[in-house]
Amino acid sequence: MKVVLGLSGGVDSSYSARYLMNLGYEVIGVTMQVYENTPSNSDIEDAKNLAKFLGIEHHVIDMRKEFRDHVISKFVDDYLNARTPNPCAVCNRYVKFKFLLDAKEKFGADKIATGHYARVIYDEETKRYAIAKSKYAEKDQSYILYDLTQDQLKDLILPLADYTKVQVRKMAEDSGITLSNKRDSFDICFIKDGDYKRFIRDEKLGADYRERIASGENEIPFLQKGYFVDKEGTILGWHEGIINYTIGQRRGISIDVGTINKKSKLKFTDRAFVGDIDVEKNLVTLVSDEDLYKDELYCDNVNFQVYEDIAEPTRALCKIRYKDNGEYGILSKEGNGVYKFRFDKKVRAIARGQSAVFYIDDKILCGGIIK
């Protein structure tokens, strides 16, 4: 049986190749080039060298246009509209797994595979496929796979579902894979230096934006200074442009609590946090930590996995970010593609644009974009 494996040049996909070969699969490695320097030349070379070491067929495929159209453009648009993006989830559905299915068809393969730490299950009751949490919570990556479709799931193999990262590194080393100690990448893959603000400026304005600003051009909305305000609208001071802020942020607020308390009737006892961003009015609302806790959210663009939909309010666990442990509550259908989740306990810093992913017994019920 033939399988197309997404080969990134990291240890997880590298050992997945060896694992699948040990099971008797004929493995074809495919590597996406998604941005001018990403994967970096060294990542592509690592993937090529690994394929050569294992003796498997390998292809590097140019996906730069698709990646820009679906991932980079949305990432920039989200930030400029005060939403917190989730580029990995977007990439998985609209770029990476489409790429793998296309490669499966092109090379006449039977299955596709990646090195994600999660499980694919088939529910006999609902007759549907779903992503489920990996065996070990510390490396579980199910959250970023919530948007995969039934067509993408039905032929997917995830070889690392039952292993820890430590185990995978050890098994890779024992297999002679020289990438066993390669560092994981935790940053956004297409922003090499981690400076997403610089990246957005370059994408939106061109690399000459510094010269444009220096020459006196100041009609650039997301770079314009505006007001910090409190919940009642009282002006507290100046912010440095909405691009610099996200919900729940504390660092980078250029005004201290003492100054805030001289102007606001709402006394801040400790620190101030970003509680809301009004793009049209160019306002950033500052709140105390307790104001960041909310007990409900609304989401749309919902993708269902283990069930096709829900008709009645359904109890589930909701994660609002990748490293979140989740909180239980009730998911209900509001109409017009909108769903509401009411938490049992308030959760902190729910951010527009992030993904809310809902689980039933470790299986993904559905996930959507927080409104």
91 is annotated as an active-site residue: yes
Quick one: fold of 224-287? SH3 type barrels. (2.30.30)
Ranges of each domain in the chain: 2-174, 224-287, 294-370
CB-based burial of residue 278 (10 Å sphere; 0-12 exposed, 13-18 middle, 19+ buried)? middle
Residue (of 146, 99, 93) closest to 4 by Cα position: 99
Look at domain 294-370 and name its CATH class.
Answer: mainly beta
Judging by DSSP bridges, how do beta strands 226-229 and 283-287 pair with one another?
Answer: parallel
Catalytic hit among 189, 299, 318, 366: 189
Whole-model pTM: value is 0.92
Sorted by sequence, the CB contacts under 8 Å of residue 237 that are 6+ apart come out as 227, 228, 254, 255, 259, 260, 263
CA torsion 126-127-133-134 (nearest 10°) is 150
Catalytic hit among 88, 91, 299, 318: 91
Q: Of all helices (H) and strands (E), which one includes residue 44?
A: helix 41-54
As a CATH number, domain 2-174 is: 3.40.50.620
- For residue 366, what are its two tokens? 């559905």
366 is annotated as an active-site residue: no
Q: Do domains 224-287 and 294-370 have the same CATH topology?
A: no
Strand partners for 26 = 2
> Would you write out the chain's pLDDT as a tens digit for each of its 371 residues?
999 999 998 999 999 999 999 999 999 999 999 876 544 567 889 999 999 999 999 999 999 999 999 999 999 999 989 999 999 999 999 999 999 999 999 999 999 999 999 999 999 999 999 999 999 988 999 999 999 999 999 999 999 999 999 999 999 999 999 876 777 765 688 887 788 888 888 887 775 656 666 665 555 677 788 999 999 999 999 998 998 899 999 988 989 999 999 999 988 888 899 999 999 999 999 999 999 999 999 999 999 999 999 999 999 999 999 989 999 999 999 999 999 999 999 999 999 999 999 999 999 999 999 99
Region of 232 (left: φ > 0; alpha: ψ -120 to 50; beta: rest) is alpha
Judging by DSSP bridges, how do beta strands 2-6 and 26-33 pair with one another?
Answer: parallel
